[in-house]
Amino acid sequence: MMSEEGLETIVQVNGNKAVVGLSGTVNRGAKEKMEAAYVEASAAPGEIVLDFSRVDYINSTGIAVIVGVLAMARADDRQVSAFGLTDHYREVFEITRLADFMNIREDASTAD
């Protein structure tokens, strides 16, 4: 039986911005860690960058978690961007219009 691998997050504050490294599965189980990572990343005054390059699965409950984080960022008037999405999840972000509310970038270098 497939197990739920869960999500791991690492926050690195780099000057003005904070990079949140995500690793594993983004689903409903990721809510607490994503929100905690957002709070930790808020120590940086500027943009929060979500690194999806080590995420292997995102489902609709995970999209809800990301929407929740974007709602927190909107309330804080803070810019969120993302990189490391596969072509498929990039398409999902476009279809769900998540891409309208966060800057989707190709890789870490363009996220700098």
Classified as helix, coil or strand, 56 is: strand
The number of beta carbons lying within 10 Å of the beta carbon of residue 80 is: 22
By CB under 8 A, residue 39 contacts another protein: no
Among 12, 81, 96, 103, the residue binding another protein under the rule CB under 8 A is 96
Tell me the backbone φ, ψ of residue 103, rounded to 5 degrees: -80, 120
Q: Which two tokens stand for residue 90?
A: 């990039």
**Site residues (CB under 8 A) for another protein, limited to 50-69:** 57, 59-61, 63-65, 67-68
Q: Which residues bind another protein (CB under 8 A)?
A: 1-4, 57, 59-61, 63-65, 67-68, 70-71, 74-75, 86-88, 91-92, 95-98, 100-101
